[in-house]
Structures are given as structure tokens and as C-alpha cells.
Amino acid sequence: MPQYADFYRRSIEERDAFWAEQARLIDWHTPPQQVCDDSHPPFARWFVGGTTNLCHNAVDRHLKDRASQPALVAISTETDTERSYSFAELHAEVQRMAAVLRGLGVQKGDRVLIYMPMIAEAAFAMLACARIGALHSVVFGGFASGSLASRIEDAEPVAVVSADAGSRGGKVVPYKPLLDEAIQLSRHKPAAVLMVDRGLAPMALRAGRDHDWAALRARHLDTQVPCEWVDSTHPSYTLYTSGTTGKPKGVQRDTGGYAVALAASMKHIFDAEAGQTYFATSDIGWVVGHSYIIYGPLLAGMTTIMYEGLPTRPDAGVWWSIVEKYKVTHMFSAPTAVRVLKKQDPAYLARYDLSTLKALWLAGEPLDEPTAQWIAGALGRPVIDNYWQTETGWPILTLVNGVEKQAARFGSPGKAVYGYNVKLIDEATGEELRGANQKGVVAIEGPLPPGCMQTVWRDDARFVNTYWKSIPGRMVYSTFDWGIRDADGYFFILGRTDDVINVAGHRLGTREIEESIAAHPNIAEVAVVGVADALKGQVAMAFAVARDASGLVDEAARLKLEGEVMKQVDAQLGAVARPARVHFVTVLPKTRSGKLLRRALQAVAERRDPGDLTTMEDPAALQQVKDLVG
């Protein structure tokens, strides 16, 4: 049996013995008494009876052997600043932040809402919460006041940590007015607000509630704050899933299971070693930022890089200059970012020494074959896709190259990761699909492995009903994604089950149509949405960016390309999958983290209100769509 196949088998069939081995990758104050308590499905309690601390494992335990090694490098091309913190310096800063939070009344079990740009103080705040046993709830910086208010109401934080402003593409985004309005809107009023003043925007401090970080930090330069040992099952944080409607859905994570899962992933998935350098281009407002900017790399004793800025500013070589300067070994980004770089002069890639880079991992959205081939060829390094969710906290599907080197397959994020008993389920019957290339819902048999969500914050019923009861007759965790699996165990994700288009009774995945359109040589990017139709129920509508837009100056040229695209879909998927229209735009609406705003596209195409667009990268992008659909 191949090495990984046996490794995976053990993780499922000999679950407790397998995870007991992984638990040795972290420090425990009290060893666990039970590996997994799954006596109340679908809830699972991992490493029961054990006590530990996430901050101790990420920072303190490295002081003995690597106190002077860089732990955190904060780089901002928005403010042209760069600062490196050794493990010893990070340890001191986290204790100062912990002392300040304690002074503001934060205790074990309390929540602290963090609403910050990608600056070092954000990392200090997250680690300080973990240090004192408080739960952090990070909200993406610049989020609209209404959305922020709903998260404040749900988390009920004792304190909020924020900054005067963030910056994006040289444009300052003041945070304080948004935060003030959110607190005014919220029924819950935090007792304290801690502000980091970057000097980017004026901010007025409200007496009795608001506090200046620099002033309070100066009072605690030498204060020592020991780690609070907490139960393995003690919540470490909540993180609200993006795009939720109505009441926010707070993903609640534990402490011990999360630490073990991340430490194991650094070893087995990323093949990482202490002393290496990890560069994830995400934001701490998203799950990738939690797992693979802050906690994962530090747990592994690596240097982690926090980056504020665009991949194209001051030029398209900025990320590669960071790889060269800091000898980055592991890089984690998103396909959208790579597609942005693909449009730039390829000379930027050749300008820098990238020899230290072991691989590039991509996640957050499906990776199309042309993008994967381009970046793999340009870097001369493996490009490894991976698939997971805010809810799981670490990859469900990828290549576990730290156990056995495996070849990537374009279009596939890889195989089931150890610990995840992944199934393909027939949505209508609930039956498991065992044959190759059968389309079903990607689901996970319980219990979920360590590190996954414990529940929805303060709403166990919602956790059960949303994730575990959507497939008839089966209590399995639904990812809400369609997938197929080939004969060798490689999975291919076909799109959301809730983004399925029902065209005259035919169920079509938008992802399949997008793949077909993207294969046209003159299509750079495409998004397909289902639009209500009086005759067919729904029709597919595509919005595409042409590689060479110069030839689309008149209507005849646009219609010609649209016809070519439709013929291609006809040939690959059949006439039933042909979009009703293919509209050409110069840019697709995306969030600042690079995800396509398909819901907003659909709303505009159906002449509905697209909702909260505060995380949109380019507000003008939707206006093009509005002009096209009338």
C-alpha cells in the first residue's frame, strides 16, 4: 500500500491512536485523558482533560532554541514600512498587549473583537487573547458599520481593538468612524475600545471608553503575563463566515484540537520545518489568516510574514522581492491573485531569486488549469491546490506531500486529507457514491477531525440543522459543494450545491460552465450565475473578461466572441448549458481578498439590491454589469 494511503487509512480506522501521535507535536500542561469524545454526535470534543495554551505553543516554547530568530515580519507597501520581530520581541509585545487587555477588564472566556488592518499589533492582539484565555473575534478591516454592528451584538465583546485606518492601493480607509457608528447601532456596547494610531487618519477618542494603545503600552513595557492554561475544549475564537444573511454565523473553534490540527498540517501537508519562512498573502479577517499567517507557522517555529498592500504595488514584482529578501520557503495565495499577476510583465518573475521557494499553495476558490500551468511554469516550482472552509480551519482536500510526494492534477485540489472521512453523497437519496466520476455532494462522516468548528457560537441547533441535516436520511457534514472523484482518489470541485442552476428541469453547476468558457483562448476570467427566467425557471448568464479587449471595440466583434464562446459550451457540455448571454466587462466584482461576488452579480442581473458591498475591491465593477443588463 502506498505510504499516504496507509497514513490516511490509519487516521480513519485507528482514529484515536493516530491523533494521540499528532498530539505530541504540541506542549500540554496537563496531558489529555481521552482523545475524542463523540458520544453526542454531531458534536465532538477532542483531547478531553488536557490543558494547554495556543500562545504558549506559538511563542513561548520557541524561546529556548530560537529567541533571536525572526518570528513575525510586518510589511506594508501602503506605508512603506517593514518591521521584523524576533520570538523574544514578539513574546514581549504580546505580554504588553495582554497586560493592556487585562487592564481594560478582559478575563478568561471574554470576547475581544479585533477590527484591524494587516499590522503587527493585530497579531499581538490575537496572540494576547489566546494567552489570557479570551476569545478573539476578528472582523475584516473596513467592513461596513451595519455588518460590524451585527457581529458586535452576536459576540458581545468586552473590548474592541482597532486602528485609525487601513490603506488599500494608496487610498486611506478610516476605521474609527465606521467603528463608532457600529457601536452606536449595536444593542451591545463594549466597555472599552483600544485604538492603534498609525497617523493615517484623524480620530477622536471618546472619554471613558476609548484608549490609546501607545500610551497604555508604555505603562507595561516590562509587565509579565503568564499563559492561562485552558481546557483543550475551551473556545479559542469565533470567526463569522462571509456572505451570511440575517444573523451572522459565528464559527466557534476549540484550543487543543486546533493547535494539534495546525501543527500536524505544518508537518504533513506543508512539509515545513522550524527556521523556514512562510508567506500567506491573505488577511487576518479570513480563516487563512488565522490558520496560516498567525498560528500555523508560529506553532512550527517558522518566520511568518504579514503583508499589507496589493500584489501590483509598487509593481508586480513586490511579492517576489519579498520571497527573495526573506528567503521564503512556503507561499500561500489565491488563484485570483495569480490571475492578476498573469496580466503583468513576466519579467517581474524573472527578476528575483526564488530558489528558496519549495512550493506555492493556492486556495479560496477553484484553480483553473490555464492559471495553474502558467504559474507553475513561471515559478518552476510545484503549485499545490487545496480545498477547505472557514468551518474546517485547515485543508479537507490537497496533496499531503510531507507524508508522500504526489503529483498534482490540474483542476483537482487533490485527495482526502487524513482525518477527514470524505464521501460523495447522492443529494436526493442520501446514498454514498463509490464509483469513479460520479457527481455528488462532498460530505464528511462524523466526527469531524480536530481543528474543525465545535459549533455555531451560541447556537447549537443552527450548527446541527445547517451542516448535518441537509442530506436526507444521513447525519453527515455537508460542504454544500458538488464534486466528483476519479479512479485514483483525486477530487474535483464542481461548484456550490446552492449555486446550482435549474434550467428547464436540468440541474447545472455554474463551475462546469465557467470551466468550459475559461478554456476559450480569449477569455481571461469568467463568472456564471443563474438568473431568473419566466420560461425556463433559470438561465445561465456569463460575465467575462477578455484577454485581448482591444478587438471588442464594436458590437459586431463582441457578438462574434460571444458566439464562439457559446459554441464552445455547446460542444463541451451540450446546448442545455449554453448561457443566455455572455457579457464582456473589463473587471469582475471581487472582494478585497479576491473572491468573486457571484451573489452580487446575480442580484444585479435580476435587478435586485446586491446588498452590502463594503468588501468589494472596485465599486465600479458592478456598474458595468448594471449598464449591460439594463
pLDDT at 527 over 60: yes
Same domain as 138, residue 262: yes
What pLDDT was estimated at residue 510? 83
Among the listed residues 234, 229, 255, 215, the one whose alpha carbon sits nearest the alpha carbon of residue 103: 215
Residues 6+ apart with CB under 8 A from 568: 516, 517, 519, 520
| Stronger pLDDT, 228 or 506, i.e. the higher one | 228
Give the β-pairing of 81-86 and 51-52.
unpaired
User: What cell does 94 get?
Assistant: 504580546
* 8 A C-beta contact, residue 197 and residue 164: yes
Q: Residue 414 has what DSSP assignment?
A: B
CATH number, domain of 271, equals: 3.40.50.12780
Q: Which domain holds residue 185?
A: 3-309+386-480
Q: Tell me, what's the pLDDT at 244?
A: 35
Q: Cα(406)–Cα(414) distance, rounded to whole angstroms?
A: 9
- Does residue 558 lie within any of the structural domains? yes
Q: With residue 210 as reference, give the H or E element that holds it.
A: strand 210-212
**593-606 mean pLDDT:** 84
Domain count, the chain: 2
In a domain? residue 353: no
pLDDT at 106: 98
Q: Is 122 inside a domain boundary?
A: yes
The predicted-structure confidence for 4-46, as pLDDT tens digits, reads as follows 999 999 999 999 999 999 999 999 999 999 999 999 999 999 9
Regarding whether 548 and 442 lie in a shared domain, the answer is no
pLDDT beyond 80 at 559? yes
Could you tell me if 476 and 518 lie in one domain? no
Question: Residue 268: which of 420, 476, 52 has the closest Cα?
Answer: 420
Mean pLDDT within 618-630: 78
Looking up cell 464552445 gives 568
DSSP state of 205: P
Question: Which of 123, 63, 50 is CA-nearest to residue 93?
Answer: 123
Burial (CB count <10 Å: 0-12, 13-18, 19+), residue 48 = middle
- 340 band by pLDDT with thresholds 50, 70 and 90: confident
Any domain includes 318 = no
Query: What integer is the mean pLDDT of 194-212?
Result: 97
My answer on whether 442 and 534 are in the same domain is: no
Q: Are 155 and 188 members of one domain?
A: yes
CA–CA distance, 128 with 148 (Å, rounded to integer)? 22
Write the CB contacts of 550 (distance below 8 Å, at least 6 apart in sequence).
Answer: none
Q: Look up residue 577 and give its DSSP letter.
A: G
- Residue 278 has φ and ψ, to the nearest 5°, of -115, 130
- What nine digits make up the cell of 75? 510589511
Quote the pLDDT of residue 461: 95
In tens, the pLDDT along 489-500 reads 999 998 777 666
Of 465, 480, 495, the domain-final residue: 480
Q: What is the mean pLDDT of the chain?
A: 92
Out of 142-156, 374-388, 503-517, pick the least confident.
503-517
- 505 pLDDT band, cuts 50/70/90, is low
Closest CA to 236 of 351, 108, 48: 108
Q: Is 363 a member of any domain?
A: no
Q: Any idea which residue has 436540468 for its cell?
A: 506
Instruction: State how far the Cα of 582 lies from the Cα of 434, in Å rounded to an integer.
Output: 36
Contact present, 619 and 610 (Cβ < 8 Å): no
Residue 535's pLDDT is 66
DSSP state of 294: I
Residues 181 and 264 in one domain: yes
Judgement on whether residues 128 and 268 belong to the same structural domain of the protein:
yes
Predicted pLDDT of residue 433: 95
Sequence-distant (≥ 6) Cβ neighbours of residue 453 within 8 angstroms: 251, 252, 253, 391, 392, 393, 463
Comparison of pLDDT for 112 and 630, the residue scoring more: 112
More confident residue, 394 or 340: 394
Does residue 350 sit within a domain? no
* C-alpha dihedral sign at 59, 63, 66, 70: positive
**Contact (CB, 8 A) for 250 and 85:** no
Sign of the torsion formed by the C-alpha atoms of 494, 496, 501 and 507: positive
471 plus 511 within the same structural domain: no
Q: Is residue 513 part of a domain?
A: yes
Predicted confidence (pLDDT) per residue in 101-156, tens digit: 999 999 999 999 999 999 999 999 999 999 999 999 999 887 778 889 989 999 99
Contacts of 518 (CB under 8 A, 6+ apart): 368, 370, 525, 526
Place of cell 487563512: 288
Q: Does 63 score more than 50 pLDDT?
A: yes
207/86 same-domain check: yes
Say what the pTM is. 0.86
pLDDT at 246 over 70: no
DSSP 218-266: HTTTT-------EETTS--EEEEPTT--SS--EEEE-SHHHHHHHHHHH
Answer yes or no: is pLDDT of 260 > 80. yes
Q: Is residue 489 part of a domain?
A: no
End-to-end CA distance of the chain: 59
Residue-level pLDDT at 243: 37
What pLDDT does residue 245 have? 41
Please write the tens of the pLDDT for every residue from 300-316.
Answer: 999 999 999 999 999 99
Which pLDDT score is estimated for 624? 81
pLDDT over 60 (residue 573): yes
Q: What is the mean pLDDT of residues 505-530?
A: 84
Phi, psi of 621, deg, nearest 5 = -60, -40
Residues in the chain: 630
For residues 158 and 272, state if they share a domain: yes
Q: CATH number for the domain including 541?
A: 3.30.300.30
Condensed to tens digits (0 to 9), the pLDDT of residues 442-496 reads 999 999 999 999 999 999 999 999 899 988 889 999 998 899 999 999 999 987 7
* 503: pLDDT strictly greater than 80: no
* Percent of the chain scoring above 70 in pLDDT: 97
Q: Are residues 430 and 558 in the same domain?
A: no
Indicate whether 506 pLDDT > 70.
Answer: no
Sign of CA dihedral 121, 126, 132, 135: positive
211 band by pLDDT with thresholds 50, 70 and 90 = very high
Residue 440: its H or E element: strand 440-445
Same domain, 164 and 250: yes
